[in-house]
Chains A and B, each alone.
Chain A
Amino acid sequence: MSDSKGPGNGPRRKVRVFLVDDHHLFLSGVRAELGDAVEVVGDADEVGAAIELIGERVPDVVLVDVHMPDGGGQAVIEAIGRSHPEVRFLALSVSDAAEDVIGVIRAGARGYVTKTISGPELTDAVERVADGDAVFSPRLAGFVLDAFASDPGAAGGAVPSFDPELDQLTPREREVLRLIARGYAYKEVARQLSISIKTVESHVSAVLRKLQLSSRHQLTRWATERRLL
């Protein structure tokens, strides 16, 4: 569970969450799973309505489905990112296709989890995102390792790197990602590497930033070429 590090006066305010999914069954399922842990301020089942309502209610976190008609979660994230940069997004998907995952993260989502995630894990992820941290599922961590792995020599074709800072992972970040990919929780990663949870979080956030800002076209191409698993 995320330790309370909001403006530390008493119990933390409930995170205001907005849900976007075109499957009603899933909307109600997520609502039930989140329960009282967060305050669900609304939901929408299509891109247009979502953009309008999110702009109106300005939630802390938007749980958004990757796959929807009219541009999917990416369209919502991009539109709101322009008008309300303070709203944070957690992508939720059944897809697991690299193309979708990388696409939605690069659009601005602060995390990605699969729809099979359990209720408590989802609540935890929502709170983490609300705190400004990144949430990586094991699979997303695997994708990032894979996408950034094809670095010097491995892939053969030397792609010119314009910003080495952004285009490569540090050995420590790689280690953290590996542990996450192996199924470790942040807490366990911290213990394994003898670092604090905060440090783990900052590593993951750094990776997220690289994922979003890296100019390597390789990343997008890699995602498109790689279909699944």
Chain B
Amino acid sequence: MAGGVAGGLSARFGIDANLIRFAFVLVALGAGTGLAAYVVAWLVIPAEGTSTSIGRRALADRRTVGLALAFVTALGAVVLVLGAIGLSFAVNLVWPVSIAVAGLVLVWRGADAEERTHLSELMGRAPLIGSAESRTRRATVARVVVGVVLVAVGLGALVASAHPSVATVRAVLAVNVVIVGFLVAFGPWWLRLARDLAMERRERVRNEERANMAAAVHDSVLQTLALIQRAAGDQGEVTRLARAQERELRAWLFEGRAPGSFNEAEVTTVSQAVAVIVRDVEASHRVAVESVLVGDCELTGELRALLAAGREATVNAAKWSGAPVVSIFVEVEPSQVSVFVRDRGQGFDPDAVGPDRRGIAESIRTRMTRHGGSAVIRSAPDQGTEIELIMPRTGAGRE
């Protein structure tokens, strides 16, 4: 049977397709069992055919009407099932009749909504199977006709079975036929509606995202570009602006942080602390700070002290070295965290006594030793400076 359906799919593009499909319905009815499997397979086939024509799908309001109609038809099917299970057929007769009428209307309106222009074209030229204009169109018409026939057959059987009280089996069969008819006539259409709705929702989400993005880009990027144009003559300022913007954009794109966010209180990990150092130093001094981080962990009291010393070293390098770039390398290891701050600037003689760089270097050293860490300062005139800070990790706050 599955092969037959596959054959029907391929034959769908020929004139015989509808005949084959109709034959399968008859076979399925005759067999009685295996209906569900067949219907499922059948539902999939038109759905795939129509998925190509999604491009010219119905407009939003038309779809809403369609959705309402779909609910009515689905409800009708449910009521029929319920009726077959419990309720008396006399009461149910009202339902099948109204549903049959509604069904007929829906078939035409449904088809109309889906392929209004094509169908009316087809109707104008020839009755039903007259024209070979489009296979899809032909399939739709045939599908609807088959569905209506099945509904009618089912209703007929239902009415007939209502009088002899014995024929419950026949009644169930009739209800099944009606359901199959509904599925055949409207199933693909329901599927399409569901797909359209899902697509519409996706579209809406995408539009919202685009709006958010536009707002963020406007707030930060465009502002920065304006500032850069005004500061075009000032190379240092341009670099500073560009880097600050780059950092914000990265934070936003890769970490999902809103531009401008990140206050000190939220800083709980080494990586965040390093990001803050980079941001602040770049913002207040005209240097680029290149940071490389290996590993990460929660901040402890000692590590906060370490990073405070690292910040001081970075500021120091930014202020005094004269180098355009300061590198900061932080490595988190199980036993210790090390920070290296390096510049290629003018350097200084560590042995010379001076109030400026050396004094600051000393303060970094004492700060480190107070918390159990160590600081090594390597520098020589014209050789740049490197400050090495190492803090052992106590058990607390390890990953």
Contact = CB atoms under 8 A, between A and B. Distances in A.
A228 B292 contact: no
Main secondary structure on B side of the interface with A: strand
Contact of B295 (A139, A146, A183): A146
Contact of A183 (B271, B274, B333, B342): B342
A146 B255 CA distance: 19
A154 B291 contact: no
B329 A183 contact: yes
A154 to B, nearest CB: 6
Q: Which secondary structure dominates where chain A touches chain B?
A: loop
B327 A138 contact: yes
B293 A229 contact: yes
Nearest to B292: A142
B331 interface: yes
A141 B254 contact: no
B162 interface: no
Nearest to A184: B342
A181 interface: yes
Q: Interface size for chain B: under 10, 10 to 19, 20 to 34, or 35 or more residues?
A: 20 to 34
B114 interface: no
B294 A142 contact: yes
Nearest to A153: B334
Contact of B290 (A178, A183, A184): A183
A145 interface: yes
B334 A178 contact: no
B254 A145 contact: no
Contacts of B291: 229
Contacts of A183: 290, 327, 329, 342, 344
A86 B229 CA distance: 44
Contact of B254 (A149, A181, A228): A228
A96 B293 CA distance: 12
Contact of A154 (B288, B329, B334, B342): B334
B275 interface: yes
A38 interface: no
B250 interface: yes
Interface in B306-332: 327, 329, 331
Given A182-B329, A182-B386, A229-B271, A139 B292 contact: yes
A97 interface: yes
Contact of A142 (B329, B333, B344, B386): B329
A146 B334 contact: no
B182 interface: no
A12 interface: no
Interface of A: 96-97, 116, 138-139, 141-142, 145-146, 149, 153-154, 178, 181-184, 227-229
Given A146-B294, A182-B386, A183-B344, 20 more contacts: A97-B254, A138-B292, A145-B294, A146-B295, A153-B334, A178-B329, A178-B331, A181-B292, A181-B329, A182-B292, A182-B327, A182-B329, A183-B290, A183-B327, A227-B254, A227-B255, A228-B250, A229-B274, A229-B275, A229-B291
18 contacts: A96-B250, A97-B254, A138-B290, A141-B292, A142-B329, A146-B294, A149-B333, A153-B334, A178-B331, A181-B292, A181-B331, A182-B292, A182-B340, A183-B290, A183-B342, A183-B344, A228-B250, A228-B255
Interface of B: 250, 254-255, 271, 274-275, 288, 290-295, 327, 329, 331, 333-334, 340, 342, 344, 386
